Amino acid sequence: MTAFSYPHGAVAHSVSPRPDASLFERHCHNGYELLFVLRGEGDYIVEGTLYPLRGGTLMLLRPWEYHYVRPQAGSPYERYVINFDASVPVDAAANLAMLSTAKVKSHGIYFSSPGLMRRLPPVLRLLELLDELPAQDARRETLVRTVVTQLLTLLSLEETAEDEACTNGLVSGVIDRLNRGIAEDITLDRLAQEFYISKFYLCRTFRQYTGMSLMTYLNTKRMALAQQLLLQGRPATETAELVGYHDYSSFYRAYRKHTGHAPIQGRRQGAPGREEKAP
């Protein structure tokens, strides 16, 4: 099994023998993502917080958490990636606290227990059965639901490893401020004034810890939220206001540039995004 898409997400198992960190996308999306590393060295970066990437570690990303991986070039990078929306986990797994950023406020949920390499790969290998089922067979999606539910249940029994995180207080504060005020008219000058720092220092520090400019981060978050609101049936003009665009034509251009299609089509699209497009 290398890749499989279904209405509620996507699944992939891939290997990059000589990964180029510059090819791995910085992004956020409306669904959840499980990224389990079998081999590799490097970093996970989630909302400006850095976690060590190595074999046997797993990152759970929640909706709208901006993230990317930065693998080391000299270390083969092998991973499973499962994207899914809230309808995929079943029974008690659907209500686990770690799925909610309101209940667990860390940036991403990181696991690095030695037991992960013993417990998780047998469950993930069930995904190889996807290749044995016809393309339109409904059991393919059932299989993914089963795997996601099992993985989340196993993870709920593990201790997280947040003590391995490396973060910057300024960047964390700015990110929390942006996420709380996504519909506001936010400018660099205003943020610099609120945090009592120079605009130059703010921009430099934010890029250092996130790998992107502050406004790129904000606009990407706005577009991800816009996609979700459109899928919920909100009118495009109302959606524009809710994500901080008070001029609809500006919102239309930004949305089309980000997604490749007009806002009205967002109501018919929006399966959770893939973790990366790297070879």
What is the C-alpha separation between 275 and 32, in angstroms, rounded?
Answer: 10
Q: Alpha carbon of 187 to those of 87, 147, 178, 184, 192: distances in Å? A: 36, 43, 10, 9, 9
| Angle, vertex CA 27, rays to CA 29 and CA 41, nearest 5 | 120
Query: Length of the chain in residues, anyone?
Result: 279
Domains of the chain in sequence order: 3-164 (2.60.120.280), 169-267 (1.10.10.60)
Per-residue pLDDT tens over the stretch 36-80: 999 999 999 999 899 999 999 999 999 989 899 999 998 899 999
pTM for the full predicted model: 0.82
pLDDT at 268: 52
Per-residue pLDDT tens over the stretch 148-174: 999 999 999 999 999 999 988 899 899
What is the C-alpha separation between 152 and 163, in angstroms, rounded?
Answer: 21
